Amino acid sequence: MPESPIRKLVPYAEKAKRNGKKVYHLNIGQPDIQTPDIALKAIRNFDHKVIEYSHSAGNESYRKKLVEYYKKIGIHIDHTNILITTGGSEAITFAFIACLNPGDEVIIPEPLYANYIGFAVSAGIIIKPITAHIENGFALPHISEFEKLITPKTKGIGICNPNNPTGYLYSHDEIMKLREIVKRHDLYLFSDEVYREFCYDGNSHFSVMQLEGIDNNAIMIDSVSKRYSECGVRIGALITKNKDVLKTALKFAQARLSPPSLGQVVGEASLDTPLSYFEGVNKEYTERRNYMVDVLNKMEGVFCPRPKGAFYGIARLPIDDADKFAQWLLEEFSYDNQTVMVAPATGFYSTPGLGKNEVRIAYVLKIEDLKNAMECLEKALKVYPGRTI
């Protein structure tokens, strides 16, 4: 079981803080955006006398309300197509173990969300990485490259859209190409769409649940964590029109009894969040992204493509080893008693050796803190012993 590249450096950060150092967390996708008031009020006004189990598939009232949310964005499903889970993480795990047998393979573009590797290990399946490249912003590799990786053990393709860790937003054309290959080889198409609301520069999100002709192949993963800045309530969803997959996934859901009851109360209330909330959040993240990318690309030897979605970017740095650099930042570097915490990109690649000079940066800090963090990073790059230029 691999360590989380996002969390494995936490002991070093904690030690730095104990020593009085200010640490700017660019390593983890924990938004500092306020959770919607309507969700917080639902917690304060919770008046049940017993906090009881819900249905293993989740509260019916919540699932029916989700149907209306999805309808507004062009996804037409029934509440019986939804299984509420303990975060998006459990949804991905349930999807893997419901659809795949040990030894089966799933093709996933890399860099990929690091925990997919852990989920795959848990399910006994094999991730076959297909490498996307920083030079073209981590666009979807050509379909012919997918074809080369397909074997009799290949049972699915997985994507994260918008992407964590790259911030890439797959276009309608790219999703349609995936539909063709999925249909041709009768594969599952797992699509993690938890960052749907975070699309920039007028770009829009296109869901695999909007694809025609692959109802039994498409499986969508969703979550309230990022959308409403509710990472701690641990509420996600597995969504598909494939009844057999849902029936099987429900057995695993019954084994864990139910998703968090209080979390579902928060998730259901959050569906009434006004559009103005998302407009404000989108504007804030756009400003942060623009500032961060512009500053990074002005640093000597640094390159960071401009993300089209989510709130992450992968930056290539003039360093010898991203893991060593990230640890050095916390253990040895200080600028005005401050430092930064980044996530080494090596953990986001399944192919050994890739990402050695790349880091993932989450622009989840307010502009003032982001400015200080970027200043620290620039100073650090100038004095890092393993600098390569």
Which CATH number characterizes residue 131's domain?
Answer: 3.40.640.10
CATH code, 346: 3.90.1150.10
Residues 77 and 195 in one domain: yes
pLDDT at 259: 98
pLDDT at 6: 75
Residues 209 and 293 in one domain: no
Domain edge (last residue) among 270, 300, 317: 270
Question: C-alpha angle 171/174/178, rounded to 5°?
Answer: 140
Residues 213 and 324 in one domain: no
Residue 205: CB atoms within 10 Å: 20
Residues 122 and 200 in one domain: yes
pLDDT at 7: 82
- d(C-alpha 373, C-alpha 379), whole Å: 10
Write out residues in the chain with pLDDT < 50, as ranges: none
Using CB atoms within 10 A of its CB, is residue 12 exposed (0-12), middle (13-18) or buried (19+)? middle
Residues 193 and 287 in one domain: no
Residue 241 inside a domain? The answer is yes
Total of domains in the chain:
2
pLDDT at 207: 98
pLDDT in tens, 270-292: 999 999 999 999 999 999 999 99
pLDDT at 212: 97
Residues 90 and 121 in one domain: yes
**Would you state the structure tokens that stand for residue 269, as one six-digit string?**
């209330």
pLDDT in tens, 87-99: 999 999 999 999 9
Domain edge (last residue) among 270, 293, 322: 270
Domain that holds residue 183: 37-270
pLDDT at 300: 97
The full length of the chain comes to 389
Residues 112 and 206 in one domain: yes
pLDDT at 5: 76
Residues 157 and 242 in one domain: yes
The 10 Å CB-count burial string (b at 16+, else e) for 288-308 is bbeebbebbeebeebebbebb
Domain edge (last residue) among 220, 244, 270: 270
List CB contacts of 206: < 8 A, sequence separation 6 or more: 170, 171, 172, 175
pLDDT at 290: 98
Residues 341 and 209 in one domain: no
